[in-house]
A = this chain, B = another copy of it.
Amino acid sequence: MPSDPHPDEPDEARSWSGDFDPLADHDERQVLFAALDSFRCVALFSVSSRYIADPNRQYRRTAHLNTTHRRRQAFYALPSAHWQMLAEPPFSILDNFSRVDDAIDVNAEIADAILTTGLASFGLPATPDPADPDQSWHGTANSSEVNKAHSTLRQFYRDWSAEGKPERDVCYAPVLQDLRDEFGERTSSSEEIKVLVPGAGLGRLVFEICNAGFAAEGNEISYHQLLASSWILNHTTGAQQHTLHPFALHFSNLLSRDQQLQTVRIPDTHPGTAMMQAQGNFGRMSMSAADFTVLYSSPSNEGMFDAVATVFFIDTAPNLIRYIEAIRHCLKPDGVWINVGPLLWHFEDGSNASSHGGSRETESHDQGIGEPGNVELTEADVFCLVERMGFAIEKRQPADDRPWCGYIQDPNSMLQPLYRPSHWIARKKKNP
């Protein structure tokens, strides 16, 4: 990394990855720039943003407030007696639009904070010289990138709010229990147990695994997720420090407006404090920014991990065989693969690249996520394939016995998309 804004922090928590420099590669740099710029676009909502070069601030603000702007227009298009009644209490529809604007502003503060630390990490200026391609990151995000920034912010509800705990209890708690069952409780004198977490997202599972005394390496392809996880893990200064309105943009299936405007505080647990309190018992933490199958199929990662934990991850695979090969390659003999998640094949409605966080076009676009072809498997297919490719499945939760969980789900909504994730453990056979 070009700069280190927090030189006194422990090394473990800051590492993006050993020898990875996205600024060195033109295509990779553009992907990073677009992710940074998308957070800037979201931060433009923010009253206190420092990243607005645009002189006509109010115009930009209005243009970005598409959510409430078009709703105001539709509201005023109602018969005037109707909208006038609905503008008065107890409906107060116009006041609610203003409150939603305020909520968007509050969320924008988080985007602003992520951007600040992201720029510092990569030594990029807030107001770049437009003529310098090495730093001209402004204006590189398209609407798809901006949508990813918004959904990344919402994801803090799931990973880093007290209210998201029920979702984490279904998805992360079984992994921690399985690790303890397999390796026992960890102490500072224990031998280091290395756990890989592909699709690490906002880093909560990585954090929890380290907090339980294991060494955890998160892997993530999306710069949106990487920038946001780096911020929450390394650059927040205390618990409950930031306010998020996770459901401000939801206008349907509401019992009341309180529901739409509810806030959560993040992080529910401050990672830095937890690390200090754990003293020597907090495991080594690292994060790699790379395509999973490419990095973990490499010779340097052969037999490196005692366990791999995939949570809501395997259905990002266009070709699950590649994922299984990579997991088998990087696991030690007798190593365990713990899986929790559904099979919502992410590429089902599009090309392989478009639905993944990275969506990057690198020179090696015929490798990893960009390799041609895809296939959608059933759970029965997955079990069969995993066993055929050198694993023994040692535990599988019966379908009837699976807990339900939402995914960034308002628990009071009249519509609840609920998952019943598959939970199983497979062990790498010594002699397949």
Residues of A within 8 A of B (CB): 71, 74-79, 82-83, 85-86, 90-91, 93, 251-257, 259-260, 315, 319, 321, 342-345, 348, 372-381, 384-385, 388, 399, 404, 412, 414-422
**CB <8 Å contact, B376 and A342:** no
Number of copies: 2
**Nearest B residue to A374 by beta-carbon distance?**
B74
Query: B378 to A257, Cβ gap below 8 A?
Result: yes
Nearest CB in chain B to that of A379: its residue:
B255
Contact (Cβ within 8 A) B414 A376? no
Q: Judge whether A373 and B79 touch: CB under 8 Å.
A: yes
Contact of A82 among B259, B319, B419, B420 (CB under 8 A): B319
User: A375 touches which one: B78, B348, B419 (CB < 8 A)?
Assistant: B78
Q: How far is the CB of A352 from chain B (nearest CB, A)?
A: 9
Residue in A71, A86, A259 whose Cβ sees the most chain B Cβ within 10 Å: A86
Tell me whether A343 and B399 are in contact (CB under 8 A). Answer: no
Report Cα–Cα, A315/B414, bound state, in Å.
Answer: 12
Whether the pair A78, B373 counts as a contact (CB closer than 8 A) is yes
Quick check: B343 and A253 within 8 Å, CB to CB? yes
Q: Report chain B residues within 8 Å CB of A260.
A: 378
Query: What residues on B are CB-neighbors of A71 within 8 Å?
Result: 375-376
B414 & A375 in contact (Cβ 8 Å cutoff)? no
A379 to B90, CA, bound (A): 12
Q: Contact at B379–A344, with CB atoms within 8 Å?
A: no
Residues from chain B with a CB closer than 8 A to the CB of A259 are 378
A315 CA to B418 CA, complexed, in Å: 22
Q: Is the CB of A378 within 8 A of B254?
A: yes
Q: Are A83 and B417 in contact (CB under 8 A)?
A: no
The residue of chain B having its C-beta at the shortest distance from the C-beta of A388 within the complex is: B85
8 A-B pairs closest in CB distance: A77-B373, A78-B373, A342-B414, A251-B376, A77-B372, A254-B378, A417-B417, A256-B380
CA distance A421 to B422 in the complex (A): 28
Task: Flag if A384 contacts B420 (CB, 8 Å).
Answer: no
The answer on a CB contact under 8 Å between B79 and A348 is no
Q: Which of B82, B345, B373 contacts A75 (CB 8 A)?
A: B373
Contact of A251 among B319, B348, B380, B422 (CB under 8 A): B348
The answer to whether A416 and B417 touch (CB under 8 A), given A79-B373, A93-B375, A375-B86, is yes
Whether B77 contacts A252 by the Cβ 8 Å rule is no
Assess whether A91 is in contact with B381, with CB atoms less than 8 Å apart.
Answer: yes
Nearest chain B residue, comparing its CB with the CB of A346: B252
Q: Is the CB of B417 within 8 A of A415?
A: yes
CA–CA, A271 to B260, complex, Å? Answer: 44
Q: How far is the CB of A345 from chain B (nearest CB, A)?
A: 5
Docked CA distance A409–B102 (Å):
37
Contacts of A385 in B (CB 8 A): 91
Asked, given contacts A76-B373, A376-B252, A412-B399, whether A90 binds B343 with beta carbons under 8 Å apart, the answer is: no
Given A77-B372, A319-B82, A373-B79, the answer on whether A415 and B380 have CB atoms closer than 8 Å is no
A77-B374, A78-B375 known; 20 new pairs, CB 8 Å cut-off, are A75-B375, A76-B373, A78-B319, A78-B373, A78-B374, A82-B321, A82-B373, A83-B373, A83-B375, A90-B380, A252-B315, A252-B342, A252-B343, A252-B344, A253-B342, A342-B414, A343-B414, A399-B412, A414-B422, A415-B417
